[in-house]
Amino acid sequence: MSEEIILRVENLTKRFGGVVAVDQVSFEVRRGEFLGLIGPNGSGKTTLINLITGFVKPTSGRILYLNQEITHQPPYRIACMGVARSFQMVRAFHRIPAFKNLIVPLYSPRVKKLGGGKYGERDDIAVDLLDDFGFERDSLVPYKTAGSLPHGYLKRLDLARCMALRPDLLILDELFSGMTMSEVAATLPLIEKFNREGLTIMMVEHRLKELFRVAHRVIVLNFGRKIADGPPKEAMNHEEVQKAYLGTEVEG
Amino acid sequence: MAGPSRYRKERIDRGIKARSDTIYVLSSYREMVYILLPRILPIFFLLIFPLVVGGGYWGKVVFYSCTFALLALSWDLLASVGLVSLGQALFFGVGSYVAGGFNHYLKWPIFLTIPVATIGGAFICSLLLIPVLRLRGVYFSMVTLILPLLFDHLIETLEILGGTHGLLSLTPFPNHWMAVYIAILAVIVCLFGFRRLIHEDYGFVLRGIREDDRVVMAGGINIYWYKTQTIFIAGGIGCLAGALMTHYYQFVGRSAFALDNTILPLAGAVLGGSGNFAGAVLGTFILVPLSEALRALGGLRMALYSLILIGALAILPEGIFHYLERKYHQFERIVSI
Amino acid sequence: MEILIYGITNSVTLALMAIGFSLTFGISGLANFAHGAFYLLGGILTWIFMNQLGIPYFLSALISIVVVGLFGFFLYWGLMLRLRGLAINEVIATLATAIVIVEVLRYLGFSGFTYVLPEFIKGSIQIGKSWVDYQRIFLVAIGIGLIIFLYLFIHHTKIGLSFRAISQNERTAISLGIDSDWTAALSLSFGSALAVIAGLVILPLGSIDTQIGYDILISALAVGIVGGLESVPGILVASIILGFGQIIVATFFKAQWQTVVTLIAILVILAVKPSGIFGKYKELEERV
């Protein structure tokens, strides 16, 4: 993990009418870091991701990626700068084969520039890529219609879609929700490997046990505010964090 | 043994389809014919049909069918990226007037006006429609619907570009056969071109935009640029149709912007089946001759197309072509469970 | 002075035409392109009831409103529900319905000076230097009254509440027990009924011509595009701009140039702020 700050969020706020979804959140992410983003439901985690990746415009605040201001950039430009994100609700193209789902990122200007796919090669690149994620190349699985695959496969497909973009920063939104223990056990080492190879990862998760095994640092959100920022053990010992997750005792 | 036996309908690929799906199709003439027939037959039909029909009244109908087929193909391309055009008449009208205008006022020859109408018209239509690309899909439909109707009014009331009488005595095609075969060639090129396009990676991106544009954006693709490209191409083809018709008729009038030119290709595309382009051609080649045969009904024909449209949507949404395709490749049988 | 009077009348007229369409769209997201056709249909039905069946005016009007309202409701149940979810097809279906209605009526010949609806109040009054028909004043009154009534209805009744719920978040509304299909069908029938009411008030000022089936739609769409489809203040402002713009052009230039105003307004809005004056640029944030 280097000292280079690859993502900086400054006083980010998002209001939806009267509701403050994200409230003056600031933090930094270093290159190569594995950052966890946790908090109770409704604490603003997905909104934060949407803000960073450009799907939602902030009410105030700044976001800098690689020292460039991306606060108001459209999602596709941010993606082309190297930020990939997965979706909480699985969004795959259900009516086409699984491997064809990867064509879109492979067709992007970023991959074209990095020398990813030439005409006719993309199909093979897609199938190869999927092989790393548990879609065995020699089986029928990559060729099955995405809609016919079970949930765990679709989650991994989403992950593969992100990785097809050759990102520098990977943001995962509850990737493990809905996956079985064995699927998680198979996927987590993979993500860890990517992180060791230099990929910066920001991961929203509810399965804290798995997350704490791999995360260098976690940020805890509650009601849109950042209430803790540090190594997992330290953050969980924070009184406010415990209150947020477990509640307080009622007097009497 | 329990309960009554139940049945379900099963659709299975025909044996010959399975055999001809791979490279081994080359090993058997029968299988090669199976693959090539659906492609060769329409081309053959399209090329021979005008000769069979002759140069008279029905020869004209062939020409009309081709121009409307181009409009339907243009509609289908827009629908593939998720843009529902309710204003093919916009493209048709712009193309007609650009070609007619340059021919009438500047005396440009036909081999110049048609390309200029196609490309220039595409630019004009794109400029008009780009602003609504960032809004909800319905806005696109609304703007395409309202613009041709407004242009129609405009031409009538301002008496510009020939006003109610239109521009007359424009340069015709050298002869009927040239006109028809240029039109047929355009249809063939667009039909097979668009089909190829939609099955290439570019086409996947387009279809992805229609299906879920957020995911496509997360994948680094500028969806607005692709939508713009599609409008340019589809608009150009629509303008080409208008330009061809203008020179065939030797006339352009405000009727170019009429609702007829939107509804007929739309009904044809939906009847034939949207999404596969062949359906668009098939549908218009059914509806246009039908429309000519029912000339006596006048304005009521539009009501008829609309009813057919609604009927197709309600009863056979996949369209005739997809239905035929399915029958060609698969057979059904009842199996007991 | 005259400009003021006719400007106000024209603006309210446009607003009346646009209300039904915007209501249906704002609630259920359905762009009812048959709006103009319903306007026409209401007028013609009233005429038929009155002149061929001898039913008194008030009753005819009432029956027409109900009939077309019901037609709208069953159109939704019968056709739209089958097509729901295929957003493409909803839009095509309403346009197709519009064309069927308008062209059949055109074929049956319902156009011309014989087809006139009676004014609600006959006679005119002198305001300043000019004579104004009572009907026009009636129109303005009804228009304003309708807007106020609708505002109160949507904000203070149960049905109105379900309308607002559905338009804000359909899934939540359904989970709270609001039948979204029923409500959407209701919104279509309300919009249709409003179209008929608008027709009944406006048509007496002229005669019926089937072409208005399309012209009214153009006006409603224009007001919506210029003002922003889902905003009531947008409709009002756009109606005023277009209404006065058209009257001013008609007074100082030629009467037929009114359409130019509409077209220019649309082109300007498209160039400057495509979502309309008060349009909410919700597009991106809506569907993440």
Residues 6 or more apart whose CB falls under 8 angstroms from that of B36 comprise none
Can you give the pLDDT at residue B20?
Answer: 74
Q: pLDDT band for position C24 (50/70/90)?
A: confident
Rounded Cα distance between A55 and A53, Å, is: 6
Reply yes or no on whether the pLDDT at C174 is more than 70.
no
Residue A29's nearest CA partner among A83, A80, A81, A79 is: A83
- Structure confidence at residue C285 as a pLDDT band (50, 70, 90): very low
> What pLDDT, in 10s, does the model give residues C192-201?
888 888 888 8
Q: Is residue C273 part of a domain?
A: no
Per the prediction, chain B carries an average pLDDT of 88
Per-residue pLDDT band for C288 (boundaries 50, 70, 90) equals very low
Contact B109/C at CB under 8 A: no
- Supply A112's token pair: 């074209």
How far apart are the CA of A50 and the nearest CA of chain B, in angstroms?
A: 11
DSSP-based three-state secondary structure for C127: strand
Q: What pLDDT score was predicted for residue C284?
A: 46
**pLDDT above 60: residue B3:** no
Domain ranges of chain A: 1-82+169-252, 90-166
The enclosing H or E element of B335 equals: strand B330-336
- Rounded Cα gap, residues C161 and C277, in angstroms: 26
State mean pLDDT over B113-131.
94
Q: What count of Cα atoms within 13 Å lies in the side-chain half-sphere of residue B300?
A: 10
Token output for B91: 């493209």
Looking at chain C, which residue has its C-alpha nearest residue A87? C288
* pLDDT of res. C31: 85
CA C183 – CA C120 distance, rounded (Å)? 32
Asked if C33 and B87 touch (Cβ cutoff 8 Å), the reply is no
Angle, helix C87-107 to helix B260-272, in steps of 10 degrees: 130
Q: Is C286 on the interface with A (CB under 8 A)?
A: no
Nearest to B314 among C79, C281, C283 (CB): C79
The residue among C185, C173, C179 whose CA lies nearest residue C75 is C185
Residue C52 domain-assigned (yes or no): yes
Is C114 inside a domain boundary?
A: yes
pLDDT at B306: 92
> How far apart, in whole angstroms, are the C-alpha atoms of residue C94 and residue C80?
9
Q: What is the pLDDT of residues A157-208, one digit of tens each?
A: 999 999 999 999 999 999 998 888 888 998 999 999 999 999 999 999 888 8
- Enumerate the residues of chain A whose CB falls inside 8 A of the CB of residue B207: 93, 96
Nearest alpha carbon to residue B307 among C101, A192, A12: C101
Q: Which of B41-50, B251-260, B326-335, C251-260 has the lowest mean pLDDT?
A: C251-260
Element (H, E) at A6: strand A5-16
pTM: 0.90
DSSP one-letter code for A175: T
pLDDT in tens, B262-308: 999 999 999 998 888 999 999 999 999 999 888 888 778 899 999 99
C88 close to C94: Cβ distance less than 8 angstroms: no
**How sure is the predictor about A76, in pLDDT bands with cuts at 50, 70 and 90?**
very high
Topology annotation, domain B7-336: ABC transporter involved in vitamin B12 uptake, BtuC (1.10.3470)
User: CB of B250 within 8 Å of any CB in chain C?
Assistant: no
B274 within 8 A of B317, measured Cβ to Cβ: no
Alpha-carbon distance A216 to nearest alpha carbon in chain C (angstroms): 29
Over residues C33-47, the pLDDT tens digits come to: 999 999 998 888 888
pLDDT digits (tens, 9 = 90+) for B201-223: 899 999 999 988 889 999 999 99
User: Chain C residues with CB inside 8 Å of A55's CB?
Assistant: 284-285, 288
- CB neighbourhood size of C9 (10 A): 22
Q: Is residue C71 part of a domain?
A: yes
In sequence order, the β-bridge partners of residue A22 are A14
- For B47-63, what is the mean pLDDT? 83
A57 and C288 within 8 Å at the Cβ level: the answer is no
Q: Long-range contact list for C265-269, CB < 8 A, 24+ apart? A: C265/C222, C265/C226, C265/C238, C265/C241, C266/B143, C266/B146, C266/B147, C266/B150, C266/C222, C266/C225, C266/C226, C267/B128, C269/C225, C269/C226
Q: Least CA distance to C220: which residue of chain B?
A: B146
Residue C91 contacts B where some CB pair is shorter than 8 Å: yes
Contact pairs from chain A to chain B, CB under 8 Å: 72
Chain B residue with Cα closest to A54: B218
| pLDDT tens digits, one per residue of A44-71 | 898 999 999 999 889 999 999 999 999 9
Closest residue by Cα to residue C159 from C140, C131, C138, C179? C179
Residue C37 structure tokens: 């056709």
For B225, other C-beta atoms within 10 Å of its C-beta total: 12
Match 């769409």 to its residue by tokens: C221
CB C18 within 8 A of CB C224: yes
User: ipTM of the predicted structure?
Assistant: 0.88
Residues forming beta bridges with residue A201, ordered by sequence position: A34, A170
- Subunits with at least 3 CB pairs below 8 A relative to chain A? B, C
Which has the closest alpha carbon to B218: A79, A221, C36, C146?
A79
How close does chain B come to C287, measured CA to CA in Å? 8
Report residue C183 as tokens. 């409500």
List CB contacts (< 8 A) between C285 and chain A.
Answer: 55-57
**Does residue C49 lie within any of the structural domains?**
yes
Size of interface B-C (CB pairs under 8 A): 125
**Closest among B21, B325, B80 to B204, alpha carbons compared:** B80
Residues in chain B: 337
**Least-confidence region, from A135-144, B145-154, B228-237:** A135-144
Over 50: is that where the pLDDT of A25 sits? yes
Tokens of B96: 């007609």
Looking at chain C, which subunits does it touch, using at least 3 CB pairs closer than 8 Å as the criterion? A, B
Query: B200 to chain A nearest CA, in Å?
Result: 9
Alpha-carbon distance A131 to B333, whole Å?
37
Spatial neighbors of C35 by CB under 8 A, at least 6 apart, are: C20, C21, C24, C98, C191, C192, C195, C216, C217, C220
Q: Can you tell me whether residue B171 is helix, strand or coil?
A: coil
Report which residue type is found at C121.
I
Please write the tens of the pLDDT for every residue from A115-129. 766 777 888 888 888
Structural domain range at position C125:
2-211
Q: Does B79 touch chain C (CB under 8 A)?
A: yes
Q: What is the mean pLDDT of chain C?
A: 79
Overall domain count for chain C = 1
Instruction: Evaluate whether residue C176 is within a structural domain.
Output: yes
The class level of CATH for A1-82+169-252 reads alpha beta
Domain boundaries, given as residue ranges, for chain B:
7-336
Q: What is the DSSP string of C186-252?
A: HHHHHHHHHHHHHHHHHGGGS---TTHHHHHHHHHHHHHHHH-TT-HHHHHHHHHHHHHHHHHHHHH
The tokens describing C44, both together, are: 């013609």
Mean pLDDT of B6-19: 80
| Mean per-residue pLDDT, A87-98 | 86
Least confident of A13-27, A184-198, C163-177, C240-254: C163-177
- List residues in chain B touching A: CB distance below 8 A: 201-202, 204-205, 207-208, 211-212, 214-223
Dihedral pair phi/psi, residue A117, rounded to 5°:
-135, 130
At residue B79, the pLDDT reads 93
Give the pLDDT of residue A122. Answer: 86
What band does A248 get if pLDDT is binned at 50, 70 and 90?
Answer: low
